[in-house]
Structure 1
Amino acid sequence: MSLLFSPLTIRETTFRNRLWVSPMCMYSAEDGFPGDWHHVHLAQFASGGAGLVVSEATAVSPEGRISPRDTGIWDDARRDAWAPVVAAVHARGAAAGIQLAHAGRKASTWWPFAGRQGSVPAAEGGWTAVAPSAIAYEGFAVPAALDEPGILRVIADFRAAARRAVDAGFDLVELHAAHGYLLHEFLSPLSNEREDRWGGSLENRARIVLEVVRAVRAEVGEAVPVLVRFSATDSAPGGLEVDDVATVAGWARDAGADLFDVSSSGLVAHQRISTGPGYQVPFAARVREATGAPTAAVGIVTSGEQAERILQDGQADAVFAGREFLRDPHFALRAAGELHEDPAALWPPQYVRAYRERPRPR
């Protein structure tokens, strides 16, 4: 058996394989409610063989949405709307995760296919974004700096959202501390100019991340895996670098996090990134090496052989893919074929006929 299609157990959850679906925003919710789009969208990846399907960034409060069309889980009604989606993923053999998020200064913006850019005005359904400091993301409105009670409310919102996620049936929660959203904004000196206990040193800037991890771990108990997604670098002068993030990840592990989903960038518009196949995998390898904690790698992973090499080389313990699953929702089934796995072990029985009757090369 390949490593990619071997099981992985974290706390009391066992994943049938290590090829997982990254959280990807669909900007298709109405007032924070997931709907038919989300049900079909996420369930198809489970039918396609993924070991874990993670929902898009789901706001822990209304003002934490990236756009007015983001999903949320800030009350029981939205919790209940997620439950059938989770059940559909489980019915197809995959674990279900949710990424809990607060967009910070990148909140209240137009969704990518809205035909407009920048911040959504209040008259058109927008709201005032919040951040560690009143520093705007380039092209967006200036956010309001959070005061101490506001920061404590954010921590409480993550905790309450984690409880609702578990009650909706999700197997794990992932905390979004990447891509320039609120927790990442606190971590980076480019967006955090505070002079209180939430700013200044790396330890102070990481305080909110660690408090959220502790609060969520206390709420969900010892059985539920807690993941954290980090941006390993800001890809900009004066910003976070991978060793900073590895240090924070070590602290987060001590606070109760189990696995780190390591991405990069997203904090500033003037970032400079060189992309290519597996371009972010070395970041996952560095965090894994520095902390001894399991990591998941991301970054233009498009084949079973490539994903298997990442695991065989000890760079990560699982692989997340996003756009490749959008291009091919059955990416995991294809990858299993590339690695000569037994199709009966992964293919839905309704699909096995297609595998057996596939065209043979001449």
Structure 2
Amino acid sequence: MVVFVLPFLGVVEKPFSSFTWGDLPWQEYDVLAIPQHRIQYFTYRGVRVWDKASRLDAVFGSAGTTEDIEVAMTRIDAQVEEERQRRAAEARLAPADGEWFSDSDDEDDIQVDLQPAVTPAPAAGVPEEERSTHFLAVRVNSEEVRAAAERVQASVVRHDPSLGACAMRPALMHVTICMLRVQDTEAVAAAGRCVTDTIDELRETLRDDDRMLRMRGLRTFGARVLYASVAPCISFCAAVEVLRERLSAVPGVRVTNAFDYVPHMTLVKVSRPVARARRSRFIDAAGYASMENETLGEQRFDNVNLCAIDADCGLDGFYLTEASIFF
């Protein structure tokens, strides 16, 4: 895929084959071409193989990389096939009745499809050695956003008091970047160093951006997780991709997100014990319908945290963090 910038339209993505790559003076008038200086990056099966901002080049070899495009494609194909086999194995382990829950504090360890009507692969059927151990997140510290989130939570709990324990505490509110499986303490330390080392690259990626994450409207994952939709700044997804790629290259670290990335901030998540007690895992939309299209506010993208799952909270009430950067 080719990702490029057009005036008025912003960032656009099209297949590589959509363009002509010959000399423009010899092309017909109806041939699609773009000025080379507008190209931002090339991807192969979702992985960047050429990137202008970071000077990554596995296509032309201009950056002196030891991996050419054929080697990169072989590696990416192998990773995609490995992920396909892993998901197939998870599906085979799924409970027949589809009843599944995750006790993890972070909702992204739930393998949730983007179409709520489709039952996702259950986290409960995932082998222990495949489950996420950490996640990367932007901590939400905007008082405006937190206050608006608490109003939504209060409305949900008024409608159904049994969900009181399912509301995300303000100190824990965050926007997840990716889920990770980190092999051991050495890999945790290496992942922390990797996050710290990306700070200059992130600053460069976000240099011409306002860095604002705008929380607008309410949606759910399968009617079990209520979240605020996040409209990211233009460069946010590029920054997310940078972090994922750098962490994927760390030995002992694997990005475990199973579905397309949906920026969001969780407000209410039905836990397994509560679902059992109330005999339902679903959140009634009537509890938040009047606020469904509200704007909750803005959070500046100025921090990234490597957080541990199923660990005690820190002294500040946020997740226990292995590494944090601020920019």
TM-score norm. by structure 2 comes to 0.26
Which structure has the larger Rg? 2
The answer to which structure has the higher strand fraction is: 2
TM-score norm. by structure 1 comes to 0.24
